[in-house]
Structure 1
Amino acid sequence: MKKLLCIVGARPNFMKIAPIMRALREDAPGIEAKLVHTGQHYDYAMNEAFFLQLEIPAPDISLEVGSGSHAQQTAEIMKRFETVVDAEQPDCVLVVGDVNSTIACALVAAKKGIRVVHVEAGLRSRDRSMPEEINRILTDQLSDRLYVTEREAIGNLRAEGIAEERVVFAGNVMIDTLLHSLPRAIAARHTIEQACALAGSEKDADTFLRADRGYAVLTLHRPSNVDDPTVLVNLLTVLEQQCQELPLVFPVHPRTRAKISEAGCGPFLENSRVLALPPIGYLEMLGLMKEARVVLTDSGGLQEETTALGVPCLTLRENTERPITIEQGTNTLVGVEPDRIRLALTNIAEQAMSPRQPEYWDGAAAQRICRDLAEWLR
């Protein structure tokens, strides 16, 4: 029996780890897997909601690291995870994605001579101002087995000197979760009506649910978009203009809400055609995206999910680490230039899209990973 520690730390990890834990139970009888939650995402009520909705087992070990700067958080995860590694003596550590927990736990394991597995390896934006890009590059260099979501990632890893025999094209575990969860997605009408009821007379659900026009979903969280007041104000200005044509449903990250207030843009959230929600669960978000006319986002995961759903996506960034969502999907890079955003939204009104399924985005990526992992560990 081989012992595996699976790491989860922040909300983007949850959708990636869920199908892996399920497949380990069903397809890898020779592996004893324990789930370690670093607590990098420290909203425990929201954590619990995600774990329940995604059917993730309760963590075997919780590090409860909490917030901090990138350096503080990464260092604290390393300190606490080293104690876990010493106590558990695992044969392997599995990390997913590109958050601080990913690089921190990979680094601890590698320095102790423990094999590292990276799920969602090889993605590159070519933008090293993104903390996630640094995490991706370093984690891949430390990893012994690298599972990629798209073929272009293999070339990225080859260019960085990583031997191809360490790389396996397994597919996209995010899409495993989406397809598994889609029948249980919470209808957009329910989420919107509930939010409008809480807002009282200030918001009218019919504004967002009219069949003739529909609504757009907006998410913003990247520091490049929310930390620079000039960029943020320009973005919100054009979105406020456009919401007269297409109302916005906006799940607002607490940090983003604070930045909007600091920039003097609080009235944007009070606009009758902007429905500002607190952070919501995965099934609620899935329902909102599934029924949206378009999604505007700076999130990597949403670029993939909208491709699988066949929903147009406008990415408010100048680059993406997921080029397949542009080449084979429904994603368009529009950056933060107001005129590009306006033009893209105008074009969306004339487009009809259907779900896209790039190679191995078929709901079986986790099974492929776990079968290969069991054989590799033997």
Structure 2
Amino acid sequence: MTNRHEIAVVLGARPEITKLARVVRGLGEGTGIISTAQPDGELSEEFLLRALGLPQARLSLPGLGGSSRGVHIAKGIGRLVQYFEARRPRLVIVHGDTETAAAGAQAGNYCGIPVLHVGAGLRSYNRDRPEETNRRIVSVLADIHCTPTVYNASNLLAEGVGAEQIRVTGDPVVESTLEAAPCTVASRETLNAYGLAGGDFILATIHHPESTDNVLRLERTLRELASLPLPVVFPVHPRTAARVLEFGLEPLMDKLRHIPPLDHTAFLALAGSARLLISDSDGVLEECTILKKPVIILHDSTGRPEAVFAGFAVRAVRGEIIEKALDILADEYLSVNLKSVASPFGDGRATARIVTIAAAMARGEIPPFTNLDHDFRLGYELPFMDR
């Protein structure tokens, strides 16, 4: 059955759902959500979609989450190809660098359907990180690349992607973070529930394989967190909890204020009130630039160096956590200075730009450039957005 107006949005992990929620709502009827049902084992797909005001998924692929990467992608491609061949959507939208994005881009390409990649052009240049492989797979297959920053666009140009395929839109993380900003009664209740209303605490998150699967690295990180001068609130991801148990590191957790995983709004409530964040998540890195909070990055490389350039983030690896944290906490001017620094990831209008681009592609039109495409317009007789 062909649906001439359908736009298929393929998502599954929590960051994809939260970032694309406004895009789905902006595209309106005719947008079909396809979910791989793998929001990190923390919260159900149904809960996340309902909480973000999104319609029920038209296709759910249970059982993919938790399998190996290769099996996950292979199963996803097979099921998605079946759906795309039956429905023939006009456009496939994928986001970021997950296995879901890699499967969605490949399935769309195999079926001859245009693919729009949101959050394109990020590079850590670290092939040991699974997301780097996924990014490169999608970048080869996408027809249009919506990049958060000009820096991301330059990465794609350097790899041979044509300028006519690139649109600098900003990142929807700005809008999604502001929409769920910790300024509600529920946010205050979250702080009170954990005895953190005073705001004198550090918030830490650890869940990437490179941080958790090496016993020596995980043990060193937990020891350093436990030695910091402020209470460390530590929402424990299921992967991290499993490794702590496997490696016998439970005694180190006693010195941390470890709590269950949080939904997005509750996490932002804590993040917006913390003195400092320590994380191996690039998503948290993005959010800190919007919440105006300093963050220590725990991994060796990041796909968001703009946060470092802007002064929000510093790297701390191999025993540097305590030193870096003490420096940040001792800087009495840092928090004031960060409040005046704009997030490098957009001006809060990324969603509107992406919706305009997606709608044009679904109509079979060449999508307009944006007003952020300063260096990529010349020589192209294409329309431009007025925002």
For the criterion TM > 0.5, the same-fold answer is: yes
In 1: Cα distance, 2:241 partner to 2:150 partner: 37
Structure 1 residues 39, 241: CA separation in 2 closer, same or farther (over 3 Å shift)? same
Residue in structure 2 matched with residue 39 of structure 1 by the alignment? 37
- Quote the offset at 1:229 in angstroms: 0.3
Q: Deviations over 1:84-123 (max 9, x none)?
A: 1121111211000111010011111111211111000000
Residue in structure 2 matched with residue 291 of structure 1 by the alignment? 273
Q: Deviations over 1:6-29 (max 9, x none)?
A: 01111121121111112212xxxx
TM-score after normalising by structure 2: 0.86
Alignment of 1:218 onto 2:200? no
In 2: Cα distance, 1:68 partner to 1:15 partner: 23
Alignment of 1:249 onto 2:229? no
Please list, as runs of the form range in 1=range in 2, the aligned pairs for 1:34-73 lying within 5 A after superposition.
34-41=32-39, 43=41, 45-64=43-62, 65-73=64-72
SS in 2 for 1:233: helix
Alignment of 1:229 onto 2:215? yes
Which of 357, 361, 370 is the equivalent residue of 1:372?
357
Equivalent AA in structure 2 for residue 296 of structure 1: I
In 2: Cα distance, 1:255 partner to 1:10 partner: 14
SS in 2 for 1:182: coil
In 1: Cα distance, 2:182 partner to 2:252 partner: 34
Residue in structure 2 matched with residue 313 of structure 1 by the alignment? 295
Equivalent AA in structure 1 for residue 38 of structure 2: Q
More helix per residue:
1
Which of 23, 28, 43 is the equivalent residue of 2:26?
23
Q: Deviations over 1:36-72 (max 9, x none)?
A: 1112337484333332332232222212133201111
Q: Which moved more, 1:169-178 or 1:179-188?
A: 179-188
**What is the CA RMSD across the aligned residues, in angstroms?**
1.9
Equivalent AA in structure 2 for residue 342 of structure 1: I
Q: Deviations over 1:177-214 (max 9, x none)?
A: 0112226656555335435xxxxxxxxx3xx4445xx1
In 1: Cα distance, 2:9 partner to 2:268 partner: 25
In 2: Cα distance, 1:312 partner to 1:277 partner: 22
Residue in structure 2 matched with residue 200 of structure 1 by the alignment? none
The gaps in structure 2 that reach 5 residues or longer are: 366-387
Structure 1 residues 155, 23: CA separation in 2 closer, same or farther (over 3 Å shift)? same
Residue in structure 2 matched with residue 265 of structure 1 by the alignment? 249
Alignment of 1:328 onto 2:313? no
Alignment of 1:4 onto 2:7? yes
SS in 1 for 2:30: strand
Report the count of equivalent residues.
354
Equivalent AA in structure 1 for residue 272 of structure 2: K
Q: Which moved more, 1:48-57 or 1:262-271?
A: 48-57
- Quote the offset at 1:224 in angstroms: 0.8
Equivalent AA in structure 2 for residue 347 of structure 1: D
Which of 363, 370, 378 is the equivalent residue of 2:348?
363
Please list, as runs of the form range in 1=range in 2, the aligned pairs for 1:164-243 lying within 5 A after superposition.
164-182=163-181, 190-194=189-193, 205=195, 208-210=196-198, 214-242=200-228
Residue in structure 1 matched with residue 103 of structure 2 by the alignment? 104
SS in 1 for 2:138: helix
In 2: Cα distance, 1:4 partner to 1:360 partner: 25
Please list, as runs of the form range in 1=range in 2, the aligned pairs for 1:143-158 lying within 5 A after superposition.
143-158=142-157
The gaps in structure 1 that reach 5 residues or longer are: 26-30, 196-204
Residue in structure 1 matched with residue 90 of structure 2 by the alignment? 91
Equivalent AA in structure 2 for residue 241 of structure 1: S
In 2: Cα distance, 1:67 partner to 1:220 partner: 18
SS in 1 for 2:180: helix
Which of 248, 258, 281 is the equivalent residue of 2:263?
281
- Quote the offset at 1:3 in angstroms: 2.1
- Quote the offset at 1:237 in angstroms: 1.1
In 1: Cα distance, 2:100 partner to 2:224 partner: 35
Alignment of 1:119 onto 2:115? no
- Quote the offset at 1:347 in angstroms: 1.2
Structure 1 residues 359, 331: CA separation in 2 closer, same or farther (over 3 Å shift)? closer
Equivalent AA in structure 2 for residue 39 of structure 1: A
**For the Cα contact (< 8 Å) 1:253–1:279, is it kept in 2?**
yes
In 2: Cα distance, 1:284 partner to 1:290 partner: 10
- Quote the offset at 1:329 in angstroms: 4.5
Q: Deviations over 1:212-258 (max 9, x none)?
A: xx11111001111100001111111111111xx11111111111101
Alignment of 1:79 onto 2:64? no
Structure 1 residues 265, 174: CA separation in 2 closer, same or farther (over 3 Å shift)? same
**For the Cα contact (< 8 Å) 2:235–2:260, is it kept in 1?**
yes
Q: Deviations over 1:276-305 (max 9, x none)?
A: 111111110010100010110000110010
SS in 1 for 2:50: helix
Structure 1 residues 52, 355: CA separation in 2 closer, same or farther (over 3 Å shift)? farther
In 2: Cα distance, 1:216 partner to 1:39 partner: 31
Q: Which moved more, 1:59-68 or 1:172-181?
A: 59-68
